[in-house]
Amino acid sequence: MSPSSFPAPLLPRAGQLRAFWRAPVSPTALAWHIACAAEAHRGPLLLVTHDNHSAHQVEVDLQTLLVHCPELPVIGFPDWETLPYDQFSPDPNIVSQRLATLHRLPSLARGIVVVPVQTLMQQLAPLSYIVGGSFDFKVGQRLVLDAEKQRLERAGYRNVPQVMDPGDFTVRGGLLDVYPMGTDVPLRIELLDEEIDSIRTFDPESQRSLNQVDVVHMLPGREVPLDPAVLERVLVRLRERFDLDTRRSALYQDLKAGLAPSGIEYYLPLFFESGRGGKHATATLFDYLSSDVLVLTALGVSNAADAFWAQTMQRYEQRCHDIERPLLPPQELYQSPDALRERLNRLPRIEVWSVEHAHIDKAEALDEQPLPVATKDASVGQALRAFLADYAGRVLIAATSPGRREVLLELLATADLQPEVLPDFRSFFLSVLEVRDLREANRDSGNGVSGANDAAAFHVIASQGGSLPTFAITVAPLEDGFSLSVPPIAVLTERQLFPERVNPVRRSRRVGREPEAIIRDLGELSEGAPIVHEDHGVGRYRKLITMNVSGMPGEFVEIEYAKGDRLYVPVAQLHLISRYSGASPETAPLHSLGGEQWSKAKRKAAEKVRDVAAELLEIQARRQARAGLALRIDRTMYEPFAAGFPFEETPDQLAAIETTLRDLQSSQPMDRVVCGDVGFGKTEVAVRAAFAAASAGKQVAVLVPTTLLAEQHYRNFRDRFADYPIRVEVLSRFKSTKEIKAELQKVSEGTMDVIVGTHRLLQPDVKFKDLGLVIVDEEQRFGVRQKEALKSLRANVHLLTLTATPIPRTLNMAMAGLRDLSIIATPPLNRLAVQTFITPWDNALLHEAFQRELARGGQLYFLHNDVESIGRMQRDLAQLVPEARIGIAHGQMPERELERVMLDFQKQHFNVLLSTTIIESGIDIPNANTIIINRADRFGLAQLHQLRGRVGRSHHRAYAYLVVPDRRSMTADAEKRLEAIASMDELGAGFTLATHDLEIRGAGELLGEDQSGQMAEVGFSLYTELLERAVRSIKQGKLPDLDAGQEERGTEVDLHIPTLIPEDYLPDVHTRLTFYKRISTARDSNALRELNVEMIDRFGVLPDAAKHLFAIAELKLQATALGISKLELGENGGRIMFGAKPIIDPMAVIQLVQKQSKLYSMEGPSKLKLKLPLPEPADRFNAARGLLAALTP
């Protein structure tokens, strides 16, 4: 397809270097014109954006919008995503993409290169390094593993236990697994003697081999060379350039030992220094591009360059005085903004100007039409129908995923709108071009078809047997919609259809789950696991089985009870089933079908629950009775403060922040628990809450379990509040009695805004003038007396609790709705799960673990929880790993010495910290990414999870080694704990581990210390469910019903059609079980819709039986709300059975029976019969929906 089919964009004219565009309103409209410019230009186009986020967005848009020349590559050159002079290195995935781009650019004839301006300013490795450091592996090539291992390490590749990330390699027997930089998948190289016999790609998650390849190109493993000769020259240059104490400098010592310190990239010029202009001097991205490059600078680039330069200079001034880690000046690492502008002015360039630009009248106005779709006062269908009626061109709806497309199609169908489904975005534009070409051909032949008459052209195409869409839908993850006059098209995204919704985040991430889903998930069930049915008690799960009932296939959960009795539960009733937690699977009870044992146990638990609910509600009533705590949040101060957060918030984190701020503005005291794994962003929630409270004139107390953590929080809060008039201080044992007394006086006078401390803050002599917010970090680490003091505070002030693994009591109160719960289950961008290994003591394996971490410039924790023998362990480790610099930390050390050790470790003065569990709530060390826990069998599950959370706090792969004795000498509980921690290696597993802890230890009663009770008899999930019902009833002034009501049980809906997830669609039985459970427990239509989207995105378009499953779940929600106990429809009609207290319009029933007596009749007071032929599933669904709509009051 020729680009001439559209008006050519304004490019720099012959003899001129610059052209100017007026920025359109829609960023996607701008991306469309950039795509047209790239297709018209006969060389590469370099697109410069103002930041990394906008670079990613426009890159995704461009990959969709290159409709004329889809073969043109769109290549991103991402930022390191570290701050200037950071002491940790970029994510290997980012380095991999950057190296692949640098390798590809010199031969790029045409295409679009997208780069943020701060990355364009960077000095880079020269092309000679990329070329000279590359090599190939070929089938048939001779390869000696030991020599190859050394070559890979010199090239910057990391020797790891299991290959997961770009730059990893490992040798196992005659296999070499390697993840080449710049590739999407790792490779498995198999040797026969010393010759490469085969090369296969493999899946890093499953480790299964995939496809055969003959040759692979290996790029360098890092952006700096690590071979010994280069490192020796760098050491010489460090001594020449800086007045350096080489013995104390960790940077120098690591390089001398052949290790690459974290953050080594900020010394890049030293690795290529050999004379100005020489072939080994550093380069910039311009040096990699051909001479016919066209540059396009997007909005805000110049200002962003100045801002980045100012930030870099500031960070240099703050850090350049550290004589142990000297810094290169910014001028050696980056081009200055003036130098960049001078370089850009020598190249052909398009500048995009905003309408506020002083010379905007000189800029070309790009084609863009307004999109008047609005839905504030009308439904989506009505608004879209009105738009389609008025719009003369063709309209395309762009959905972000196949699942969103299917949901939109269903939504549009309710408004009788049926867009044609197109396979992709380009097919829509090809149809537009076909119309355009036909019009021009008809005009040239003089056949009377007007060039402006699209309808005539469509008529001609239709008469020739063609079919072109005027209204279509496809999957295209565009940032925004846009409309053009030539050709006359409008592209609508969900931003136009649902302006009140925020577009989904377009990056891969793990989706956080609701706490109820985590607690009651059935996905982990194995055969024989205990399972609770609300009506029949505790049995053992056997399997998921397909059976025919009345000629219709359906899936059922098979449960075995005492005496071998079997119960088959249809998947539509999985809301009555939950995993059993409360005792170990071996000691869980086993009830008899039809006996009284279960009903008695359930009634006894329900009676206990009533008392518990009353006590909990009394606590809540005291909170709610105290009004007047509402804080007024000054958004003009808060918004700039929030914008100062240097990272992108995750969706879960943003949700936790917003709900916390809403709570603070409520007139009732907040009691919110924020649960999230270590490093997932709980502290930032606390920081923002503290800022809101302090800026509203209230005092804030931050309560932490250890002095070290108090110091860390103090530094975090102080640094974040540095630019604001908020006074922060810490109350710790590191201070003298005189200092503490002075600070307590400031607290009582109200001149101290935020005070951080341990349980010392709960002492009687700490008197606040106007305390408004208490923040508690790691509540489970406090003792009984501290918790009692906290309980008395809870009714009087706003309370925010942060925890990684909530204790059962906290979990129960949150699940019962008495303490609000926010779960941060989404990991930060680029965060990787910690790989966990259980191993006996093995000198060779431990030496390799040390070597692996130290070789990549990282640090390592070695946990030995015995103070008496910790000195002997230090000597053993020094002998095992002579190159390690080892420090010791334990609780019996003087406080100031302990603080010095921890700060020295943070500053990388030593790279191994040998410690006791004092590090459990220690300071953040992002560079520490390996932990070895000696005698891991002696620790509890929550403690192991907390200790493992010490590592993996940056974007590097982290490792945890759990060293245990012979398994035969371990207790059964210890073995289960280790298996649980090893299996829960996914990010955000803390909440799930809390429920595993319940299974292993047994669940404690809610308000007591007893680790047994009714909860163990009925299971944690059902106990929580009973508690929720009791709380709800007491709140409504009713006596709790000991049995499930209609609302909990739900309506039984049977349309005599197949309703299941077919095995050939989703083969994994555990995943099917999980989805069945989530569908049956969905609380509203939105939840069902999101589940629908998720299934389609993960597994493809739903088969009819699965569509029926969702449709029946929707009917069940509507019928349950009306108090209907059963809805049954078949080929010849059906019946509706009303519950004890239906919520229907009685006149509607009377009118149906009186006016349509041949169709409707009553059988007794609670059964409505329908006689109507309903041969097809669609007929039954339509009849059911119509009937429910008629009965709705």
In a domain, 94, yes or no: yes
1142-1151 as b/e, with b when 16 or more CB fall inside 10 Å?
Answer: bebeeeebee
* Same structural domain, 150 and 106: no
Please compute, for residue 1044, the number of CA atoms within 13 A of its CA located in the half-sphere on the CB side.
Answer: 19
For the stretch 246-278, pLDDT in tens is 888 888 988 998 888 888 999 999 999 765 443
Q: For 1079, phi and psi rounded to 5 degrees?
A: -70, -45
- How close are the terminal C-alpha atoms of the chain, in Å? 58
Tell me the Cα Rg of the chain: 33
In a domain, 587, yes or no: no
In a domain, 365, yes or no: no
Amino acid letter, 210: L
Q: How far is CA 445 from CA 433, 440, 441, 549, in A?
A: 18, 9, 6, 67
* Same structural domain, 73 and 116: yes
User: Which helix (H) or strand (E) is 138 found in, with range?
Assistant: strand 135-138
β-sheet with 1133-1138: strand ranges across: 1052-1054, 1124-1130, 1133-1138, 1167-1171, 1160-1162
Please compute, for residue 398, the number of CA atoms within 13 A of its CA located in the half-sphere on the CB side.
Answer: 26
Q: How many domains does the chain have?
A: 6
* Same structural domain, 153 and 296: no
The pLDDT assigned to 833 comes to 74
* Same structural domain, 801 and 863: no
- Of all residues in the chain, what percent carry a pLDDT higher than 90? 32
Amino acid letter, 900: R
Task: From 42, 44, 49, 22, select the one nearest 121 (Cα to Cα).
Answer: 49
Residue found under tokens 């105290």: 626
The pLDDT assigned to 245 comes to 86
CA 675, 679, 685, 687 dihedral sign is: positive
> How far apart are alpha carbons 393 and 380 in whole angstroms?
20
* Same structural domain, 816 and 679: yes
* Same structural domain, 796 and 880: no
For the stretch 977-1025, pLDDT in tens is 787 777 655 554 444 554 555 444 444 433 343 434 556 667 766 776 7
Reported confidence tier of residue 1171, pLDDT bands at 50, 70, 90: very high
In a domain, 995, yes or no: no
User: What DSSP letter does each residue of 638-664 carry, written as one string?
Assistant: HHHHHHT-SSPPPHHHHHHHHHHHHHH
Q: What is the mean pLDDT of residues 1107-1126?
A: 91
Task: From 1086, 1070, 650, select the one nearest 825 (Cα to Cα).
Answer: 650
The answer, yes or no, to whether residue 714 has pLDDT greater than 50, is yes
Structure tokens at 1030: 């009791």
Provide the mean pLDDT of the chain: 82
In a domain, 521, yes or no: no
For the stretch 865-919, pLDDT in tens is 999 999 999 999 999 999 899 999 998 888 778 888 988 888 788 899 999 988 8
Please, are residues 713 and 693 in contact by the beta-carbon 8 Å criterion? no
Beta bridge partners of 632: none
Q: For 176, phi and psi rounded to 5 degrees?
A: -120, 110
Which residues, including other chains, have CB under 8 Å from residue 475's CB and lie 6 or more apart?
398, 399, 400, 401, 402, 404, 405, 424
Amino acid letter, 1177: P
Residue found under tokens 């795509």: 35
In a domain, 184, yes or no: yes
* Same structural domain, 659 and 761: yes
Task: From 750, 709, 716, select the one nearest 731 (Cα to Cα).
Answer: 709
Q: What letter does residue 109 receive in the DSSP assignment?
A: -
148-176 as b/e, with b when 16 or more CB fall inside 10 Å?
Answer: bbeebbbbbbbbbbebbbbbbbbbeeeeb
Q: What letter does residue 185 receive in the DSSP assignment?
A: S
The answer, yes or no, to whether residue 506 has pLDDT greater than 60, is no
> How far apart are alpha carbons 122 and 335 in whole angstroms?
6
Task: From 668, 706, 670, 697, select the one nearest 686 (Cα to Cα).
Answer: 670
486: burial class by Cβ within 10 Å (0-12, 13-18, 19+)? Answer: exposed
Q: How far is CA 711 from CA 715, 733, 895, in A?
A: 6, 10, 12
Higher pLDDT, 131 or 551: 131
The pLDDT assigned to 216 comes to 94
The pLDDT assigned to 546 comes to 87
* Same structural domain, 422 and 440: yes
> How far apart are alpha carbons 187 and 211 in whole angstroms?
9
Reported confidence tier of residue 1030, pLDDT bands at 50, 70, 90: confident
* Beta-carbon count within 10 A of 20 CB: 18
Domain span at 117:
17-127+282-356
Task: From 1176, 1177, 1122, 1118, select the one nearest 1148 (Cα to Cα).
Answer: 1122
Higher pLDDT, 527 or 1102: 1102
Structure tokens at 436: 């355009």
Show which of 986, 1003, 1022 is a domain's final residue. Answer: 986
CATH number of the domain bearing residue 1154: 3.90.1150.50
The pLDDT assigned to 183 comes to 94
* Same structural domain, 337 and 420: no
* Same structural domain, 847 and 785: no
Quick one: how many helices (H) and strands (E) in the chain? 40, 43
β-sheet with 912-915: strand ranges across: 835-839, 959-963, 928-934, 859-863, 912-915, 886-889
For the stretch 454-466, pLDDT in tens is 444 433 443 343 4
Show which of 497, 524, 554 is a domain's final residue. Answer: 497
Higher pLDDT, 699 or 793: 699
Highest mean pLDDT among 116-120, 359-363, 572-576: 116-120
Task: From 327, 132, 158, 151, select the one nearest 259 (Cα to Cα).
Answer: 158
The pLDDT assigned to 1002 comes to 44
Q: What is the mean pLDDT of residues 1162-1175?
A: 90
The answer, yes or no, to whether residue 365 has pLDDT greater than 60, is yes
Pairing status of strand 1133-1138 against strand 1167-1171:
antiparallel
335-358 as b/e, with b when 16 or more CB fall inside 10 Å?
Answer: bbbeebeeebeebbbbbbbeeebe
Task: From 760, 771, 755, 764, select the one nearest 696 (Cα to Cα).
Answer: 771
> How far apart are alpha carbons 346 and 957 in whole angstroms?
43
Task: From 432, 430, 433, 456, select the one nearest 443 (Cα to Cα).
Answer: 456
* Same structural domain, 718 and 817: yes
In a domain, 568, yes or no: no
Task: From 99, 98, 81, select the one nearest 90 (Cα to Cα).
Answer: 81
The pLDDT assigned to 1157 comes to 86
> Residue 931, SS3?
strand
Beta bridge partners of 703: 757, 776
In a domain, 273, yes or no: no
* Same structural domain, 661 and 792: yes
Among 185-189, 494-498, 810-814, name the one with the lowest average pLDDT: 810-814
Highest mean pLDDT among 43-52, 375-384, 640-649, 721-730: 43-52
The pLDDT assigned to 778 comes to 78
Classify 441 in phi/psi space as left (phi over 0), alpha (psi -120 to 50) or beta: alpha
CATH number of the domain bearing residue 979: 3.40.50.300
Classify 1037 in phi/psi space as left (phi over 0), alpha (psi -120 to 50) or beta: left
Q: How far is CA 428 from CA 328, 404, 648, 1048, in A?
A: 53, 18, 35, 48
> How far apart are alpha carbons 33 and 58 in whole angstroms?
12
Classify 101 in phi/psi space as left (phi over 0), alpha (psi -120 to 50) or beta: alpha
3-state secondary structure 204-264: CCCCCEEEEECEEEECCCCCCCCCHHHHHHHHHHHHHHCCCCCCCCHHHHHHHCCCCCCCH
The pLDDT assigned to 534 comes to 84
For the stretch 432-454, pLDDT in tens is 655 555 555 555 544 443 333 44
Beta bridge partners of 216: 137
CATH number of the domain bearing residue 326: 3.40.50.11180
Reported confidence tier of residue 6, pLDDT bands at 50, 70, 90: low
Show which of 968, 986, 1004 is a domain's final residue. Answer: 986
> How far apart are alpha carbons 987 and 759 in whole angstroms?
30
3-state helix, strand, coil in the chain (%, to 5): 40, 20, 40
Please, are residues 133 and 139 in contact by the beta-carbon 8 Å criterion? no
Q: How far is CA 1164 from CA 1134, 1136, 1161, 1170, in A?
A: 15, 12, 10, 14
